[in-house]
Structure formats: C-alpha cells, structure tokens
Structure 1
Amino acid sequence: MALNPPLNRKLRMGIVGGGIGSFIGRVHTIAAALDHRCELVAGAFSSNPEKSKQSAPDYGVDESRAYGSYEAMLDAESRLPADQRIDFVSVTTPNHTHFEIAKAAVEAGFNVVCDKPMTLDLDQAEQLLKTVENSDVVFALTHNYTGYPLIRQAREMIMAGELGKINAIRTQYIQGWLAEKLEATEHKQAAWRTDPAKSGVAGAFGDIATHAFNLGRYVTGELPDKVSCHLKAFVDGRRLDDYGTAVIRYKSGALGTVTASQISHGRENDLEIEVDGTLGSLRWRQENPNEMIVRKNGQPHQIYTRDPNADFTKPLAASSSRIPAGHPEGFFCAFANIYLAAFDDMAKRAEGQPFERRDTVYPNVYDGVEGMMFIEQCVKSSEQDAAWLTLSHSAART
C-alpha cells in the first residue's frame, strides 16, 4: 500500500526544539519516522541560530532549512511551493513556549503535534482551542502512553462492557529523580521543570500527574466532575510540588485517585493504572507494558499479553502492534502510534477529505484543555485545604 493514502507520499516534518542535548526532541523524531511515513526536512532546533545550524546535521537536515526561530521557520516554509513545504510542526520545547509556537503554527495553516502539557495555563489552553476550532488543521497532543497496545486493549474491553459498570480508577506515576535538589546544580531538566515561569503552576502534577489523569480518562471514558487534592514540595526550597494525591469524583458515580511523586527513591517511570468494575478489574504498568492482568472473583487471574494475532486481541490493539508476540514493544512504539493516527488525518486533510476532530484515537486539543483544567484545579484545591472543585469543562470528550 502506498504511504499515507490518499496522499501517497511521505509527510514532511518541521520541529521546534530538539537541539543538541535534547531528550524529548529526539523521541519525537524517532517516533515520527518509525513507520517511514514522514521525513524531517526542517527545524528551529534552537532559539540560538548558530546552535540550530549546528544541530541540523544530527538530523540530516539541510542547513538552509535550519532556522534560528520558530517564526522564521513558519514564515519561510509558508512561502515554499506546496510540494516542498512542511506538512506539520512538532513542538518539543519547554512548557512555557508551547502556546505561542502551537498557536502560530495553526494560524499559519500547519498541522501540529505538541508535547504535553499543551500550554502553561488554562487560559492559554482555551485560547488555543478556539484557534484550532477556527482552522482546519490536525492537532495532536503526545500523551504517548495512550499508544501502548494493551492500553488500547483495555479501552476496548471496557467500552464493550467486559468489566461492567466502572466503580474505581486508580492511577499513579512514581519517580525518584528529584529526591535531591538538582535544580540547584546545572541540571537543565530539573531547572526548568521546577521553575514556575517555565513549568507553570504545578511541578510533579503538571509534569507527570497529567499523564496519569489522561490515562484514566482514555481507558475508561469516564467524565470527571470534581477533584480534591493535596500537593506538597518535600525538598526544602523547591518552589513547585514534588508529591501529591488527588481524589476524583466522576459523573457516573465512580471514584478515582491520581498520585504523582518525583521524590520516591529508586523509582524510575512507574506509571500504573488499575480499574475496578462490577464484573472484573484490570491492572497495567508502563514498566512492564506487554502484560495486563484481568481479575474476576472465583476465576484464575488472566494475563493478557501483547499479541496482535490472538483471538482475544481487540482490533485497535492489534493495529497498534508492529511485531509478533514475545518481541517486546515499548516507549518509542507507543509514541509512534500517536503520530500514526495523526498522520491518517493529516493525509485526509491534505486531500480535502473530512476527518474526526474531537473523538480521535490520539489525544487532541480537547484533551489538552482538560489536562490544564485538572492541573489548575488541583493546585487551587490544595491551596484551599483539599476543597472539592469542579473538573467539568465544555471541551471534555464525551
């Protein structure tokens, strides 16, 4: 089959960020190119023009398309012939820059794949939502954990009623890398993630609890109603939270918890979700992503493995796998699945065909607004001694 039907060519990628020493920029470019459906042709790799030029050879990008700013890239690429200019922009910079870059790219008519959280605050998220709705672009948000095959298996099982009515959703994301005050050293990642001007109003909750919250929403489809939250910075002098727990009331009557820590010694990237229903429960951990446990009272525990050819595997989970069972798939592959689904819609848009904008397989601008509301309401709740605050938003997925 030809690439990106009905477009039948590779999509052309432009990236903002990803300069020398970048982690997430590299992740985006590797994931986007994993299935050979796009090629990186341009980048504003750094706001320093010289550093941007120096970064271009690392990606095989011609120096003439290595720009010193995202504004320069958008302007120059917009003036290129249609068969040469970029099709989409990937935003891989620190949080405080996401809004201005994504908004400018949408206004210039380019599709966008944005790293999370979508913006610095809820007001920016709502502005960006209006900008996207007033355009015809594809907008994807890289809550990449939704791309794991067994997460998509869990989603389809729950949507099919196999767990019954959902009673409880427990998610946690536990890390330990900030147990010491790394921001007081020259640690670049720690410095901006603990700086309110660059990270926003929350620390661990803005960085990783958003993933846990989004995962619960994606897997169950439950609509949040209210939240009560406690946040705390345990490291002396830290300006943003490094630990917290939120309790969520869902509109269906289900209850949920979200716990995030970046100060738990020895913990790496332990994202976990458990869902309890009236007919059964399930559990999945990101550090062992190719297995999911399903339990029912009076029956042996079932271990679901990632097997695209098995009869028990749901279609969405099967289509999210690239290799046979027993060969581990992981982080890059899950990240790539976000890009793949977005590519399908980008190809449709390029050919003038309609595409779904709200209830997409990949996280989108509506999820971004929900995520920012979750962060802000958790912070406000914690400031009010865990007061119950609303999480309902008109932008929520149904």
Structure 2
Amino acid sequence: MVAAGELGELRVVQVEYPQDWLSTRLEESGVKQAEWRTDPQRSGPAGCLGDIGTHAYHLARFVTGLELESLAADLHTFVKGRVLDDNVHMMLRFKGGARGMLWSSQVSPGNENGLRLRVYGSRGGLEWSQEEPNRLLHFPLGEPSRILTRNGPGLGEAALAAARIPPGHPEGYLEAFAQLYGDFAEQIRARQAGRSADALALGTPGVGDGVDGLQFITRALESSQSGGAWVTF
C-alpha cells in the first residue's frame, strides 16, 4: 500500500518495541538469554538498542522504503549495575523530508513484545502491531477508518501471497520465518534454473540490510555519547 502510493507523500513514521523482561537484573539469576544480552563482551556495545531497537528500525525501513538521513538518540540504563542500555529514545530524519520517532525498551512493565508501527502520509495512515498481526488499521484521509484482516478482502497481491491459512485462523510470528525460507528457496531455484525469481519472493534481507543495521547502531551510540546530538547517517 505504501509502495503503491495509497498513503501519499510520507510524513511521519513512529515505531516502538517495548518489553518488560529485563526490568530487574535477570542476568544475575542464571537466565542465559539475559546473560549474553547484557554482556558487552558477547553482545557488543549496544544492549536494548542492538537487541530489539534494530528490529524496530528495520521494520520501519522495510515498510516505508525510506532511507535514514540523520538521527538523535538517547540511550539510558535504568537497572543499577547493568552495563548496557535498557531503554532507547530516538528522533529520526529521513531523506525526502519525513520525520520519525523510535522507542525501544526492555524495562517497561506490562509489555511483552510490543513491536508496533505507525506510518502517516498526505493521503492516510497505517498502524500495525506484532501482537495482533492479523489486523492492519488503515486511515484514509477524510474517509472512515478500515480494519484489513489477514487473507481477507481488500488486500494487495503481496499480502495475499504471504497468507497460508484461511481468514480467522491466527497466523503470524512463526509463519514469518516460513515466508523467508520459502522466498529464499524460490530465489535459489530460479538461479539454478536460469530464470527470474518470482517478484513477490524478492522481499528478503541481504548483506546491505545487515550493514545498514550495524551503521544504525554505531550512529545511535555516537549520538547518545554526544548528549543526543544529531549525527548524519
């Protein structure tokens, strides 16, 4: 819908990923998932930012197609004794003029995996939440709001191609991996057969996306260490 211009010129992008599981020093209780994520020797210089902030960033980039121009980040560690950040606030400026905000947190009680994206343009807006993955909210400017359901009416070809089971049955997180595996397999088979891959199977991440994520982490750390100063991307 974004690529087709249904939202018009993109203006505002808001993405968030709050969790609560590291609200205490869980890494001191023998939980391995918490241990390595809070250890800079194993996870690198970014905590919450590198763990889930990157997911939020990649989601915003993938859906909007926008390229980041600059950012201003505030990384903070709330839990005493923890070395790496456990909460991140960030302002984003995209090429072309769109503005954005990103929040990721692992110390926000009441949140499990609250990955959520809002995109607003000159002709309407979209809202999607990972915890309710079968619904997409669409807000056409000057028209009634719509709730689009997975594999339901009103969806585009790309959305329908990613649905495996009838409407009404929950489908989401695990099936997303199946989608990636299927798309990668189609690209490999096409290369082996000397043909073009199905266009709907080309939405997979590549090396460039990995580099982009690392640059995002590096620039955010640089900004936060400079008191939240704007840094170019």
Specify if TM > 0.5: yes
Question: Contact 2:187/2:202 (CA < 8 Å) preserved in 1?
Answer: no
Instruction: Tell me if 1:374 matches 2:226.
Output: no
2:203 aligned with 1:361: yes
* 1:171 maps onto 2:19 in alignment: no
Q: Deviations over 1:172-197 (max 9, x none)?
A: 00100000001112110000001111
Q: Distance in 1 between matches of 2:207 and 2:39?
A: 25
Q: Aligned match of 2:144 in 300, 307, 315?
A: 300
Structure 1 residues 238-317: aligned runs within 5 Å: 238-307=82-151, 310=153, 312-317=154-159
Partner Cα distance (2:195, 2:140) in 1: 44
Secondary structure of the corresponding residue to residue 247 of structure 1:
strand
Corresponding position of 1:196: 40
Q: Secondary structure at the match of 2:82?
A: coil
Cα deviation, 1:280-308, whole Å, max 9, x if unaligned, reads 01100000011111113432211111125
Report the 3-state secondary structure (helix = DSSP H, G, I; strand = E; otherwise coil) of the residue aligned with 2:177: helix
1:211 and 2:20 correspond: no
Q: CA deviation at 1:349?
A: 3.0
Distance (Å, rounded) in 1 between the aligned partners of 2:135 and 2:41: 39
| Structure number with bigger Rg | 1
Q: Is 2:193 the counterpart of 1:321?
A: no
Task: Report the Cα distance in structure 1 between the residues aligned to 2:185 and 2:141, rounded to whole angstroms.
Answer: 42
Q: After the TM superposition, which parts of structure 1 deviate over 6 Å for at least 4 consecutive aligned residues?
A: none
CA distance in 2, matches of 1:388, 1:160: 32
Q: Deviations over 1:185-210 (max 9, x none)?
A: 21100000011111111101100010
**What CA distance in whole angstroms lies between the structure 2 residues aligned with 1:322 and 1:355?**
20
Q: Offset of 1:355 from its aligned partner?
A: 5.8
Query: What code does the residue aligned with 2:136 have?
Result: M
> Which residue of 46, 65, 69 maps to 1:221?
65
Give, in whole Å, the separation in 1 of the partners of 2:203 and 2:12: 23
Amino acid at match of 1:337: Q
Partner of 1:341: 183
Shift of 1:352: 4.8
Q: CA deviation at 1:334?
A: 1.3
| Richer in strand (by share) | 2
Residue identity opposite 1:377 in structure 2: R
For normalisation by structure 2, the TM-score amounts to 0.95
Greater RCO, 1 or 2 (C-alpha within 8 Å, sep 6+): 2
Query: Aligned-pair RMSD on alpha carbons?
Result: 1.6
Closer, same or farther in 2 for the Cα pair 1:351/1:201, shift >3 Å? same
Structure 2 residue ranges without an equivalent (≥5): none
Structure 2 CA distance for aligned equivalents of residues 353 and 191 of structure 1: 46
For residue 116 of structure 2, give the secondary structure of its aligned residue in structure 1: strand
Aligned pair count reads: 231
Match of 1:235 among 79, 82, 89: 79
- Secondary structure (helix, strand or coil) at the match of 1:159 reads coil
Could you report, residue by residue, the CA deviation over 1:219-258 in whole angstroms, capped at 9, with x for unpaired residues? 0101111011000010001111000111111011000111
Report how far residue 366 of structure 1 moved. Answer: 0.8
Structure 2 residue matching 1:169: 3-state secondary structure? strand
Q: Structure 1 325/354 Cα, relative in aligned 2: closer, same or farther at 3 Å? A: closer
Compute the TM-score of the two structures, normalised by the length of structure 1.
0.56
Closer, same or farther: CA 160–352 of 1 in aligned 2, 3 Å: closer
